[in-house]
Structure 1
Amino acid sequence: MTSRPLDRLDSRILAILSEDGRISNANLAQAVGLSPSPCWQRVRRLEEEGVISGYRAIVDRAKLGSSEIVMIEVILDRHDDEVLENFGRAMQEMPEVLEVMLTTGEYDYLIKVAVSGTRAYEEFLRSKLYRVPGIRHSRSSFVLRSLKERQYDPSLQAG
């Protein structure tokens, strides 16, 4: 977390970079109303402070054969260190698993999985997920359509 609050320019830089991480510094500077050098310094500071933790390519999963997204809620048998570590390690080793979130409420984890269809999902369940020790129960929902995916929204900034 940053030691200082973000100002309007920092928020605008983050919003633009979250939409286009490959924008040139010159174009970014023009978009936020700065000259290139101060803009570059702000981006570097945001990186050094850990506000910007990296840059990624957004991959079209359908073109790679994994067009279906399934959200899986999981309840574990126990919550001791061994079960939690084994579960976390197993999730890291499964390429179909895109995200794993520890949650509050009835379920312990929410897992986002990419597969090529229902048969591939059944195979994932049988050969991978259900073989993970410590899982007591799971519930799955296929995503029909994603209405919004963002990494940053400046209106959520505290301050």
Structure 2
Amino acid sequence: MPTAPRRPLAKDVRPVELDDLDARIVAILEREGRITNADLAAALDVAPSTAHARVRALVDRGVVAGFHASVDQARLGKGLQAMIGVTLRPGARHDSIVAFADEVRRLPQVLQLFFLGGTDDFLVHIAVEGASDVREFVVEHLSAQQSVATTRTSIIFEYHRNGIAAPFR
């Protein structure tokens, strides 16, 4: 499997049509990104060269945007995860949105940052050791920012992920 996918040069976000074989490859890679080319070819009942060429083409076309590891945060001492909805204050929205996103995405506790349309402006997914760390994160890194109007914290008990989406362009 390629380790450093090449991104398409154009910012073409039109849907890419997949034939049946490409769709099956995508489904397998979503479940098991580290599958060997030989195992992928066997699962598809195609030659290894065909599997390799098809995966390479999916990467080149931007359909497969990367290969990812799923990290057990609890094994790293970060057994508590939370989703924090953040609403920014009105006024100078563009600047505050950009500044907020730039600052928060760099924090080591942040696993994912979502910019939303709706009640919340952002959804911040964090992993920390315990409840006091969630409180500290919200108070020191979110509520302390002048652009933040409100936060809503939800503790994650359990989750299921069907796949990993590539960042929006």
Global fold match (TM > 0.5)? yes
Instruction: Report the counterpart of residue 89 of structure 2 in structure 1.
Output: 77
**Matching of residue 108 in structure 1 with residue 121 in structure 2:** yes
Number of residue-to-residue matches in the alignment: 151
1:1-80 matched pairs, under 5 angstroms: 1=13, 4-78=16-90, 80=93
**Are 1:83 and 1:133, in contact at CA under 8 Å, matched by a contact in 2?**
no
**Deviates most, 85-94 or 75-84:** 75-84
CA distance 1:121–1:12, change in 2 (3 Å) = same
Provide the aligned C-alpha RMSD in A: 1.6
Q: Measure how far apart 1:126 and its partner are.
A: 2.1
Deviation larger for 116-125 or 38-47: 116-125
| 2:143–2:151 contact (8 Å) kept in structure 1 | no
TM-score (norm 2): 0.83
CA distance in 2, matches of 1:92, 1:3: 28
Unpaired runs of 5+ residues, structure 2, are 1-12, 165-169
SS at match of 1:112: strand
Per-residue CA distance 1:54-103 (angstroms, 9 max, x = gap): 11111110000111111111111135221011101111221111111122
Work out the CA distance in 1 between the residues paired with 2:121 and 2:14: 30
TM, length-normalised to structure 1: 0.88
Q: Supply the AA of the counterpart residue of 2:151.
A: S
**Share of identical aligned residues, percent?**
34
Q: Which has the higher helix share?
A: 1
Q: Which runs of 5+ in 1 are unaligned?
A: 153-159
The one-letter amino acid paired with 1:76 is L
Q: State the distance in 1 between where 2:131 and 2:52 align.
A: 47
Give the aligned residue type for 2:23. S
Q: Residues 67 and 117 of structure 1 are in contact (CA less than 8 Å); yes or no, is this contact kept in structure 2?
A: yes
**Following TM superposition, by how much is the alpha carbon of 1:131 offset from its aligned partner in structure 2, in angstroms?**
2.2
* One-letter identity of the residue aligned with 1:124: F
